[in-house]
Amino acid sequence: MIEHGLSAVLELDCTRAVQQFRPHFGLISMNVDPCMLVNSLSEDKSPKPYPAEIRDLDISRIQMQSRPIKLTFKLKLKKDENGCNGSTLPDHPDKSCQQPIDEVSPQEEENHSAAEDKVNQSGEDDAQKQLVVYDPAANGTTTGEEVQPLSFPKKSIPFHSSKVLPSVGAFTVQCAECFKWRLIPTKEKYEEIREHLLEQPFVCETAREWRPEISCEDQPDICQDGSRLWAIDKPNIAQPPPGWQRLLRIRGEGSTRFADVYYVAPSGKRLRSMVEIQKYLLEHPEYVEAGVSISQFSFQIPRPLQENYVRKRPAPARITPSDANPLSWAGPDENTDLRLGLPGFCDAPDSEIVDLPAKKKVRRGPSKHVFSCDSVYDQQGLELEEPYQARNDVFEI
DNA sequence: GCCACCGGTGGC
DNA sequence: GCCACCGGTGGC
């Protein structure tokens, strides 16, 4: 079992792996907590195929579609001070899951993985909680060691985290031809694909770079089934300059905006706007001399598919006699809209709501389903008409 | 004291 | 409504 307070949070539900949604580009993310774990595969560590943040592990819940998978990965703890120092993987028939713990570099920390997780506190049938990620070993990409890491998921022991924020857990892109989701092994590869997505649409064959046998005939790696929160990224965002990191920080539900982008300079300086970038480059001409340009930066953020994830900005106040009465604003806001589910793929467990960061008491508009089938299908339709126009990246959180 | 995160605001 | 910017602040 997991020891030393590893947080349990994420859980998958991809059994209903049906192609139900068709954005074209995206990330999969999972909730994150102060304790970050990073899995790496092979011993050579170059490059790390599937680093991932995970808050909780329960390998026994992992299923690779219909075939068993063998997991081998290392856990790396980010913050000892969070009670996460030291851990072991859960007991699992496959002892290859047992690996030493290393340190995590900032870069690794940002290399979220192609794995997946999500908390599920709804108590759904275990059979519904499985990870749907492709099995590299099954595709003949494994060399030497038989294993390929994949992902993991699931919950177990809550740990003391005062605040839990979602974060990107994996990267996925949708094939422009078959519309199946393909996981992207690294953040860097994802950024590379994203940079030229409009001119070079992603197709399953593109993934042969790391999955030689993949084709549109293969099952999707992941599904948009409402069990996780998805966000749609923007295409054609330049890759960060060499040595720079582009960080995406997902805000908690109910915040005034969905996420923040930061750039981390090679010096470690964190910059949060084009103004700051410009100023920094002026103060450090060596970067400009090395070829760094302001055009290589973008603070565009993805858009959450979950309705009402971001708090709407209140309409300009109109003072009327009733509004002037403070009591008219005093009632509790139940946010019942966040607890509604729909049959079928939209019957997302309440857990996805429950698992999100503590909601703020925010005034919301008329109740709507957070994972409305209608809204999703509407978007899918738009995607079909304009495959690579507006939204192409998707994050799952 | 630092900084990650959040809120507010102005502009479009 | 979205975006860009940046100030405030709680937690460490």
- Asked if the Cβ of residue A314 lies within 7 A of any atom of strand B, the reply is no
For residue A95, count other CB atoms closer than 10 A to its CB.
9
Q: In which band, very low, low, confident or very high, does the pLDDT at A316 lie, cut at 50, 70 and 90?
A: low
Which pLDDT does position A310 carry in this prediction?
Answer: 87
Positions 71-90 of A with beta carbon below 7 A from strand B are none
pLDDT, one tens digit per residue, over A27-37 is 333 322 212 22
Q: What pLDDT is attached to residue A36?
A: 22
Identify the residue whose Cα has the smallest distance to the C1' of C2: A257
Q: Is the pLDDT of residue A337 over 90?
A: no
> From start to end of chain A, where are the E strands?
25-32, 75-76, 101-102, 165-174, 181-184, 230-233, 245-250, 259-264, 270-271, 303-304, 393-396
Residue A119 pLDDT > 60: no
In Å, what is the CA distance from A91 to each residue of A94, A97, A154? 8, 8, 14
Look at the block and give the residue holding tokens 């106040």. Answer: A317
Task: State both tokens at A317.
Answer: 């106040």
Task: Find the Å distance, CA of residue A180 to C1' of nucleotide C7.
Answer: 43
What pTM, to 2 d.p., does this model score?
Answer: 0.52
Dist. CA A201–CA A177, nearest whole Å: 9
Q: Give residue A216's pLDDT.
A: 96
| pLDDT tier, A315 (very low <50, low <70, confident <90, very high otherwise) | low
Give the tokens for residue A160.
């003391």
Q: Which residue is nearest to nucleotide B3 (CA to C1')?
A: A270
Distance separating alpha carbons of residues A83 and A135, to the nearest angstrom:
32
A177-214 per-position pLDDT tens digit: 999 999 999 899 999 999 999 889 999 999 999 999 99
Close Cβ partners of A105 (under 8 Å, ≥ 6 residues apart): none
**Average predicted confidence (pLDDT) for chain A:** 52
* Residue A261 pLDDT level (bands cut at 50, 70, 90): very high
Confidence check: pLDDT of A239 > 90: yes
Positions of chain C reached by protein Cβ under 7 A: 1-6, 11-12
Mean pLDDT confidence for A91-117 = 31
Across residues A95-108, what is the average pLDDT?
A: 29
**Cβ of residue A269 lies below 7 Å from strand B:** no
SS3 A182: strand
pLDDT of residue A294: 92
> Do residues A149 and A41 touch, judged by C-beta distance below 8 A?
yes
The listed range with the strongest mean pLDDT (A54-58, A133-137, A279-283, A355-359) is A279-283
Residue A23's nearest CA partner among A342, A381, A267 is: A381
Instruction: Give, as ranges, the nucleotides of chain B with any atom within 7 Å of a protein CB.
Output: 3-10
Q: Is the CB of A240 under 7 A from strand B?
A: no
